[in-house]
Amino acid sequence: MAIQGDPEVLAEQCHRKAVVHELLALFYFGLGVVINFFLVVLLFLLYVF
């Protein structure tokens, strides 16, 4: 078991948090893009028909 104050362990935890944060950011960005795309398509359809 490594001690909590171990720099390597702390760096690994920080790296893991950063990776999770990046994945979440990508997920929300993709979600926003998809939602915007559907809104544009809906508005276009409403405008056309």
pLDDT at 6: 80
What's the confidence (pLDDT) of residue 14?
86
Q: Can you give the C-alpha Rg of the chain in angstroms?
A: 21
Q: Could you state, in order of their start, the residue ranges of all structural domains in the chain? A: 20-49
Number of residues that make up the chain: 49
In this predicted model, what pLDDT tens digit does every residue of 8-46 receive, in sequence order?
Answer: 888 888 889 999 999 999 999 999 999 999 999 999 999
Supply the pLDDT for residue 1.
Answer: 53
pLDDT digits (tens, 9 = 90+) for 3-15: 666 888 888 888 8
Distance CA(30)–CA(24), nearest Å, equals 10
Query: Scanning the structure block, which residue is given the tokens 């809906």?
Result: 42
